[in-house]
Amino acid sequence: MEERPREPQSHYDDEISLVDLAATFLKRRRVFYAVLFSVLLAGIIYAVLMPEKYDYVSLIKLAEKEPGSYIEKPATVIATLENRWLPEYQSTYHADHDEQIPFEILFENPENTGLIRMVSEASPSQSEGVKQSHALLIDKLSEAQSAAVSNLRENLERQIESLSSTIKMLEGATDAGAAIAAAFEKRLSLEATLNSMQPMEVLTVSRESAERKGPARSLIVLLAGLLGLMGGVFLAFFTEFASLVKAQLTET
């Protein structure tokens, strides 16, 4: 029987085996080590020198008209803080120090509460500046809340006084029982509101958070090591590739 000739095996000059890759890597290992240790060292230095930052929180409870009902809505108060008092303070600070405030001041209202949170992320060295800034804004808010409470109190007292006068006038009239009862009920409601009013309360000023903000130092070093590892491998092979291209151009 005549044997069929074997087909020649396909061969590609540009095929690279794992042995070739390993040999190339070992040849350029100095590039790999240089990149790895450089990036890792930079990550360690950054982690050590990275400034610590914490959240500084001030908490205010708004003045209440009745339990659960506030003289001013929290959303309105926050809008006033963000669009009036904070810009005014920023302008004053810039005029006095010729620079912007080195930290942000954010305002929050926890859902279904009358609480206002002032939050600033800053380093311990800036804690005194944060405290002064929060205290100034709290003073502005306190003045506005006190004025609102005073106005509401005066309004309620006038209404109560007017109802008392109306009741005295109706007491001598005939068939005025229903009107007197309605006036009594309205006056009692107003007196209950007057007695249940609560002023604004400052719960805490610039309290430092227990945990530091930002990534942990160990995580930064780990990420730097991974970045150096990947960058070292890439540059090792890229260096070999550039060397081959240069040799080819020289021969040509």
Q: Which residue do the tokens 């004053």 mark?
A: 92
Rounded to two decimals, the pTM is 0.66
The CB-side HSE value for 74 (13 A sphere, CA atoms) comes to 18
Backbone dihedral region for residue 132 (phi beyond 0: left; psi -120 to 50: alpha; all else: beta): alpha
The predicted pLDDT at position 12 comes to 46
Handedness of CA 15, 17, 20, 22 (dihedral sign): positive
CA angle 12, 17, 23 (to 5 degrees): 130
Q: How far apart are CA 70 and CA 144, in angstroms?
A: 13
User: Could you read off the pLDDT of 160-182 as tens digits, one per residue?
Assistant: 888 888 888 877 776 777 888 88
Query: Do the strands 106-108 and 69-70 form a parallel or antiparallel pair, or are they unpaired?
Result: unpaired
Cβ contact 85:143 at 8 Å: no
User: Could you read off the pLDDT of 124-154 as tens digits, one per residue?
Assistant: 888 999 999 999 999 999 999 999 999 999 9
Burial grade of 61 (CB within 10 A; 0-12, 13-18, 19 or more): middle
Residues pairing with 54 in the sheet: 122
Q: How far apart are CA 250 and CA 252, in angstroms?
A: 5
Q: How far is CA 140 from CA 50, 64, 83, 119, 202, in A?
A: 35, 18, 13, 17, 12
The predicted pLDDT at position 106 comes to 95
Residues pairing with 60 in the sheet: 116, 202
The predicted pLDDT at position 4 comes to 53
Q: How many residues does the chain have?
A: 252
Q: Which residue do the tokens 């002023």 mark?
A: 199
Q: How far is CA 139 from CA 94, 144, 173, in A?
A: 20, 9, 51
Confidence of residue 108 (pLDDT cuts 50, 70, 90): very high
User: Could you read off the pLDDT of 50-106 as tens digits, one per residue?
Assistant: 778 899 999 999 999 888 889 999 999 999 999 999 999 999 999 988 899 999 999
